[in-house]
Amino acid sequence: MTSLINKDDTLFLYYTTLLKGGQIDESVLQLRDEFKFEWLLRNLDLPSQLKVRNIKNELDRYVKLINMLILSYVVSTVENKMSKLEMTRNKYGKPKMLNRKYQFNISDENGLVSLAIGFNENMEAEDIGMDLANPKDIERFELSDLAHFYRKDFRGIFGDKEVEWLDQEFERLDYDKRLQLLSQCWALKESYCKYLGVGITAGMENFPFTDFTVLKNSHGDCFELSPIVSYKPLNLCLKIPESEIILSVFSHYSKVKLEKIDVKTIIDYFLNKG
């Protein structure tokens, strides 16, 4: 999976989607089989199993299950053995591996699950923050003017300089680009809070972003992270291929390798592991 890539300076972004043509993928629907669903659940600790069981929406339930399995799948595949991961969480809930020095962060959005992971053990002290943002979430507010998003409805999380900069950008952008820009702003703020390990409790208004690099073209699978003025970690923003979902990641790695995993591969791995 990663054997030909230099792991010292490369962050790996894995993603999988549970939707196909807007519907739950057929390979995921096999989890309606109670035995198969329970077999996958056995790979989680009891609190995590309960969390998955308590989700009423079918898609959300399967997304949470894959969210909780993707890290184990990737680590096991990279190490070429079934890997038992021991986890802990900080006081804000951010997870960390106790028996590995890898750095990681997981996010999901609208049937898509993504894992950012670094395998350079010398970077254990450095962190990763990733977020997925869906432009449709902003459209659901049915705003008469998209500028109301940062000027009124969510004014509290945007600084004065951000509002001024967004006003300037809006003058030259069409509707779709404006929507994309707002989603990127949101993803930047959330992913940076996750990088710090504090979530949105730190207050997204404390982390302004202006003049940032526009979305990378997601054709291809290798990217360079870029600096953002006043922020220590490097950043990459891109659109997930064949999707409108925007991914933002902060890390101290200089390169990114993007790789899609078929959700069937993950499910089959755990169904057949013995």
Could you tell me if residue 3 is inside a domain?
no
Sign, Cα dihedral of 219, 225, 228, 234: positive
Could you tell me if residue 41 is inside a domain?
yes
The residue-averaged pLDDT of 140-157 equals 94
Q: With CA atoms as reference, report the closest residue to 5 among 105, 125, 118.
A: 118
Cα–chain center distance at 178? 22
Which CATH number belongs to the domain containing residue 131 in this structure? Answer: 3.90.470.20
Could you tell me if residue 251 is inside a domain?
yes
Name the domain count of the chain: 1
| pTM for the full predicted model | 0.94
- Can you give the pLDDT at residue 3? 56
Could you tell me if residue 255 is inside a domain?
yes
Asked if residue 1 lies in contact with residue 117, where contact means CB atoms within 8 angstroms, the answer is no
Could you tell me if residue 208 is inside a domain?
yes
- Please say if the pLDDT value at position 211 is more than 90: no
Domain of residue 68 covers 10-271
Structure-derived torsion over alpha carbons of residues 37, 78, 261, 130, reported in degrees to the nearest 10: 100
Could you tell me if residue 2 is inside a domain?
no
| Phi and psi torsions of 232, nearest 5° | -70, -50
| Phi and psi torsions of 177, nearest 5° | -70, -35
* CB atoms near residue 206 (< 10 Å): 12
Could you tell me if residue 57 is inside a domain?
yes
List, for residues 217-273, the tens digit of each pLDDT value.
667 799 999 999 899 999 999 999 999 999 999 999 999 999 999 999 999 999 998
Sign, Cα dihedral of 16, 74, 51, 96: negative
Could you tell me if residue 1 is inside a domain?
no
| Whole-number Å distance between alpha carbons of 190 and 240 | 17
List, for residues 63-99, the tens digit of each pLDDT value.
999 999 999 999 999 999 887 899 999 988 899 999 9
- Can you give the pLDDT at residue 5? 66
| Whole-number Å distance between alpha carbons of 223 and 249 | 12
